[in-house]
Every structure is written in structure tokens, then in C-alpha cells.
Structure 1
């Protein structure tokens, strides 16, 4: 090989290697965001006021109760539980941070912010063990998946009310119509009792 050809080959090879390194260095894998916001499994549909009233009445919410609303949206059930029914405390859980902001603002306007709390997170991960009442407006598939959590974490005697959807083979203790909407009530049984709840 001629000396001029050898030099040209070395120059071309070095240039290609440098370009390859430059390309490799310029390609960066994006960093994952610090907080991943999960998409809600259930679309946000506000509970009509007559259903809110009916749910809390069916659950017989009273002073001393601790009410949890799973999928709490704009906070209307939580706020009504303390303002209209005298619950000592109410907690809303919603995965959407926009709904949490809205709910907190609604609680401030209703002057009940000292009695309510809104937690942003997955309802399947929520600590609900101190609830005496749980309200739901979810979907049948979500209710079914939630059932084992409700039965294992809630104290016997805790009332559960669902707007619109049942829990499959767990037969409700009561079922009523309120403003054309079906509401269901279950009472958490003693451990090892009520085979229909399994």
C-alpha cells in the first residue's frame, strides 16, 4: 500500500471513530420523573347531591364516625359527612392531584378544613383501618378487586356504601333507590363469618 493511501485510510478511520464517539455521547436516556402520576382507573364523574345525601343516610353517618371516600373527586361526600351528618372526621383518597387541590379548596370554602383530609394516592394503598364508614363510586371491576382489602382491613361493623355498583357475590345488606340511582350497603362481618362476603 502506498504511503499516501495509508495516511488517508488512517485519517478517514480516525474521523469515523470520533464521529461515532460524538454520536454515542450525544444520545442520552431521559431521566425518569421524580414522581410518576398514575392515570385514574375510574373516570371522574361527580356524585349527584341527592346520591351524596342518600349514601350518607344509608350508612347512618353520625357524630363519632370516621368516613373514608375512596375516589373522592371534588370532596363533596367528605365535606357533607362532617358538615351535614356530624362525622367527627372524614378522609378523601384520590389519585388525581387536581381533584385533591379542588377538594381542599371546597373544604376551605365550606369551613370544614379542620375536620377533613384529602390524600393523593392509589386507593388500594390507602390506610383505611380507622374508618367506620367507607363510601365508593367506582366501577364493578374495581369494587371486586377492592373487596379483599375492605374485608381484611376494616373493623367488623364498618359500613360500606357504593353508588351504582355492587360487589359481585358479596350480597349487600341493603339496596335502595335514591333519585333513580341504586345504592348498596354492606356491613363488614366478624372475622370468619358471613361466607357470602368471601
Structure 2
């Protein structure tokens, strides 16, 4: 039989040894929260459906959702319209939720979610862009969006893009949805 002192020291070391490991694991899993330009507010299902319908999705489209949150727009587009999609969000927690939602819906093979800053993201492969951002963010993204391939379709929930007049506007379930088509580039040729 071990002496009581040896048992107590062993218990103390075991408990003391666990505390630093637990603290280290907690530090590794609790990354600092990213600075968000937009708070996470999920788009209601009837609005998601209306946005996708307004975008006139077709086979072959590539949908990018800027500030994708839990991925509901990208997942529904892939599931109901058969398109491929990429969701971008700066919050890793949202990306994790989006991947779980894609897996649950059985569309993980057609969608991807990227933890990225929208202002540093290449949007050139998109044929459709959806977003639910704030007016200041829309305006900051506007030059980048207008530089996209002519014909790229843009759908925004709730917020417009200043003096760039939408091609269509709809109100669904109390929410305004804006639709634009990126115009043809103006010729800079001089003769």
C-alpha cells in the first residue's frame, strides 16, 4: 500500500498537470473574434427564395454570396437550382455552420465556403452575386462589382448601391430586394 503522502502528491500533480493543458487547449480553440463590418442577421427563407428567383438562376451559373453567414443562400441555390456556389464570410464560426448546413442538405460537392475578407476576394468567376450587407459596405464594394464581366447579376437584400439604379426592385415578406446587371464597359477608343 502506498503512503498517503505519495497518493496526495500524485493527485496534486495529476490535477496540477491537467490545469495547464486545459488552459492551453482553451487558448488554442478560442481565437480572437474577427472585426465584422456587418452583424450576422440571417435572411428569412421567403426572402432567400425570392432573391434566387429574382437572380434568374440557370444551370451553369456560379453564385457567390458575400457575407454568407450560415450558407443558407448558397445551399438553397445548389439544392433547388443545381448551380455551384461559393460563400464568403470573415467569421470562421459562420463558415463552420455553413459547411455543416451544406453537408446536411447533401450539396457539399457543389458548394464551398471560404473564410475571407470580401474586399480582398476575387469575384471574377461569379455569374451571380448575392449579398445582405450594409449600405457603406455595398458602396465600398460597388467599384469592384462594376468592374465584373458585363451581365453578372447582383441581388442585394435590404440595401441599394447609391445612385446605381436597380434594374428591378421587389418587396417580399417586408424586405426590399434589389437587382442589377453589370453593364457593358464603356468604350475608351478614340478615333
Do these two structures clear the TM 0.5 threshold for a shared fold by scoring above it? yes
Q: CA deviation at 1:37?
A: 5.7
Task: Tell me which of 169, 176, 188 is aligned to 2:170.
Answer: 176
- What per-residue deviation string (whole Å, max 9, x for no partner) do you get for residues 157-193 of structure 1? 0100000000001000000111111000000001128
- What per-residue deviation string (whole Å, max 9, x for no partner) do you get for residues 6-25 of structure 1? xxxxxxxxxxxxxxxxxxxx
TM-score, length-scaled by structure 1:
0.77
5+ long unaligned stretches in structure 1: 1-34, 194-198
Structure 2 residue aligned with 1:130: 125
- 1:146 maps to 2:180: no
CA RMSD of aligned residues (A): 1.3
1:109 aligns to what SS in structure 2?
helix
5+ long unaligned stretches in structure 2: 1-30
Output the CA distance in 1 between the equivalents of 2:178 and 2:149.
Answer: 19
Task: Tell me which of 55, 76, 83 is aligned to 2:79.
Answer: 83
2:120 aligns to what SS in structure 1?
coil
Q: CA deviation at 1:38?
A: 3.1
2:85 aligns to what SS in structure 1?
strand
Structure 2 residue aligned with 1:96: 91
- 1:66 maps to 2:62: yes
- What per-residue deviation string (whole Å, max 9, x for no partner) do you get for residues 59-84 of structure 1? 00111100000000000000011101
Q: Report the number of matched residues.
A: 157
Structure 1 residue aligned with 2:153: 159
Q: Which runs of 4+ in 1 moved over 2 A?
A: 35-38
Output the CA distance in 2 between the equivalents of 1:124 and 1:192.
Answer: 24
- 1:112 maps to 2:107: yes
2:43 aligns to what SS in structure 1?
coil
Q: CA deviation at 1:36?
A: 7.3
TM-score, length-scaled by structure 2:
0.80
Task: Tell me which of 170, 184, 190 is aligned to 1:190.
Answer: 184
Which is greater in Rg?
A: 1
